[in-house]
Amino acid sequence: MSKPRIVILGAGYGGLVTAIRLQKKMRRNEMDVTLVNKHDYHFITTHLHMPAAGTDHHDNARVTISDLIDERKIRFVKSTVRQIVPEEKKIILDESTLDYDYLVIGLGSETETFGIPGMHEYAMSIKSINSVRFIRQHIEYMFAKSKMAPKRKDYLTFVVGGAGFTGTEFVGELADRIPVLCKTYDVDPADVSIYNVEASASALPPGLPEDLILYGMEVMRRKGVQYKLSTAIKECTSEGVILSNGEFIRAGTVVWSGGIRGNSLLQEAGFEVQRGRVKVDSCLRSYSFPEIFITGDCSIVTSPEGAPYPANAQIAVQQGFNAARNLIQTIRSKELKPFIYDFKGTVATLGRGEAVGLLKVKKVKGRLALFIKKMIDARYLFLIGGLPLIWKKMVWKQKSTTRNYHVPN
For the beta carbon of residue 98, count every other beta carbon within 10 angstroms. 19
Crossing angle of helices 313-331 and 13-25, in 10° steps, is 40
Tell me whether residue 169 is one of the annotated catalytic residues: yes
Report in angstroms how near the CB of residue 177 gets to a copy of itself at its nearest.
6
Q: Which residues bind a copy of itself (CB under 8 A)?
A: 51, 54-57, 129-131, 133-134, 136-138, 140-141, 143-145, 147-148, 176-177, 179-180, 184-186, 352, 398, 401-408
Q: Please give the span between the terminal C-alpha atoms of the chain, in angstroms, as a whole number.
A: 56
* Cα–Cα distance, 194 to 23 (Å, whole number): 46
The sheet that has 157-161: what strands, in order across it? 225-228, 193-197, 157-161, 253-256
The active-site residue out of 87, 95, 169, 218 is 169
Of 131 and 267, the one with the shorter C-beta distance to a copy of itself is 131
Across 272-400, the runs of DSSP E, i.e. the strands, are 273-274, 277-279, 292-294, 299-300, 346-349, 355-359, 362-365
Report in angstroms how near the CB of residue 180 gets to a copy of itself at its nearest.
6
Report in angstroms how near the CB of residue 402 gets to a copy of itself at its nearest.
5
SS (H, E, C) 110-143: EECCCCCCCHHHHCECCCCHHHHHHHHHHHHHHH
SS3 362: strand
Report in angstroms how near the CB of residue 4 gets to a copy of itself at its nearest.
34
Of 40 and 88, the one with the shorter C-beta distance to a copy of itself is 40
> Within the chain, what is the greatest distance between any pair of CA atoms?
73
SS3 216: helix
Of 5 and 145, the one with the shorter C-beta distance to a copy of itself is 145
For the beta carbon of residue 31, count every other beta carbon within 10 angstroms. 17
SS3 24: helix
* Cα–Cα distance, 283 to 273 (Å, whole number): 18
Of 73 and 352, the one with the shorter C-beta distance to a copy of itself is 352
* Cα–Cα distance, 102 to 72 (Å, whole number): 20
273, β-bridge pairs: 278
Of 333 and 398, the one with the shorter C-beta distance to a copy of itself is 398
Q: Whose CA is closest to 289, among 115, 90, 92?
A: 90
Report in angstroms how near the CB of residue 391 gets to a copy of itself at its nearest.
18
SS3 183: helix
Torsion sign, CA atoms 367, 372, 378, 380: negative
Report in angstroms how near the CB of residue 132 gets to a copy of itself at its nearest.
9
CA distances from 341 to 197, 263, 304, 335 (A): 31, 22, 10, 19
Burial class (CB in 10 A: 0-12, 13-18, 19+), 372: middle
Report in angstroms how near the CB of residue 283 gets to a copy of itself at its nearest.
37
Report in angstroms how near the CB of residue 137 gets to a copy of itself at its nearest.
4
Of 21 and 392, the one with the shorter C-beta distance to a copy of itself is 392
Of 122 and 141, the one with the shorter C-beta distance to a copy of itself is 141
Q: Whose CA is closest to 299, among 285, 321, 278?
A: 278
Positions marked active-site: 169
